Amino acid sequence: MLVLHQYHLSPYNEKLQRMLNFKGIAFTEQYWQLGERKQVAALNPIGKLPALEHDGRVICDSTDVAHYLEQAFPEPPLIPADPALRGQVHVLEDWADESLYFYEMHLRFTTPGNRERNIPRMVEHESAFLRWLLPKVVPGGIAKITASQGIGRKSPEQLMIDVTRHIEAVNDLLSEAQWLVGNRISLADLAVYGMFDALRDADMAAAQIARYSAVVAWMERVEQTTSERASPANATSKEDDS
Ligand SMILES: N[C@@H](CCC(=O)N[C@@H](CS)C(=O)NCC(=O)O)C(=O)O
């Protein structure tokens, strides 16, 4: 059995859950609390999730997990065999993971209105003490990360210019295509979808996404193509965790 270890509200969860669904692989989900960092460090010394447990092995980092899954469960493929397409998938996946991630994190958890709605969702499974403490410290902690990364130092207006440009770029890629790379769904779609879905938790980004019809239609297409497959283990675990 495969176990997907996750933190609540992580955009990387969507990427891997949908990959597992698309490949028809049964899995259970284990959600960890932010107060369980020691136990998470035992799984992944870097302390980050998601991580995948399979046959006694733990694979960390969503990109490594995706490549592991593709090798262990090649059908149906999500990473193209064609080198030019494979290169495009990697570049888009890395853009999602290493650039879009900071925009969605900053907008969801540090900006007024959005942080008040999203932080309680992030901490709802923590102890009573952490449910009290984390809303006071998480926005500042995330703002520090995004300030050192650069995005957090931009004005709200400049941030939204960036985000809109990113959404428009995806809309352009989809202007004559159903999927981001080639003519079938790939890991690039799942990685970018995960970040756009998280961006929809921030009001101003959600409003921008709604303006781009090719993006809206593509997000629905990704959802339909990678929706949950019937799997008793999965269903039980989802109920337990939500
Ligand atoms: N590059 C990693 C990033 C994973 C990541 O940043 N996960 C966040 C949750 S969204 C995390 O575990 N944060 C806890 C920490 O940094 O200690 C991946 O693709 O899996």
Which residue puts its alpha carbon closest to atom 19 of ligand 1? Answer: 62
Q: Is the pLDDT of residue 239 over 90?
A: no
Residue 160 sits in a domain of what CATH number? 1.20.1050.10
13 ligand 1 Cβ < 6 A: no
Q: How confident is the model at residue 229 (pLDDT cuts 50, 70, 90)?
A: low
For residue 32, give the 3-state DSSP assignment: strand
Q: Is the pLDDT of residue 233 over 70?
A: no
Same domain, 31 and 151: no
Same domain, 127 and 27: no
Q: Is the pLDDT of residue 240 over 50?
A: no
Same domain, 138 and 107: yes
Reported in sequence order, the residue ranges of 79-230 that DSSP labels E, i.e. its strands, are none
Mutating to test ligand 1, I would choose from 32, 43, 48 the residue with most ligand atoms within 8 A of its C-beta, which is 48
Compute, in angstroms, the gap from residue 21 CA to the centroid of ligand 1.
Answer: 21
Residue 21 sits in a domain of what CATH number? 3.40.30.10
Mutating to test ligand 1, I would choose from 9, 31, 49 the residue with most ligand atoms within 8 A of its C-beta, which is 49
Please compute the mean of the pLDDT values over residues 162-187 and round it to a whole number.
98
Q: Return mean pLDDT, the chain.
A: 94
Same domain, 61 and 140: no
Please compute the mean of the pLDDT values over residues 174-194 and round it to a whole number.
98
> Which ligand 1 atom is the nearest neighbour of the CA of 49?
12
pLDDT of residue 237: 38
Residues spanned by the domain of 45: 2-78+231-241
Q: Is the pLDDT of residue 70 over 70?
A: yes
The CB-side HSE value for 76 (13 A sphere, CA atoms) comes to: 12
113 ligand 1 Cβ < 6 A: no
Between helices 156-173 and 101-110, what is the axis angle to 10°? 140
Same domain, 70 and 105: no
Q: Which amino acid is at 45?
A: P
Same domain, 68 and 104: no
Same domain, 24 and 87: no
Same domain, 114 and 212: yes
Same domain, 108 and 174: yes
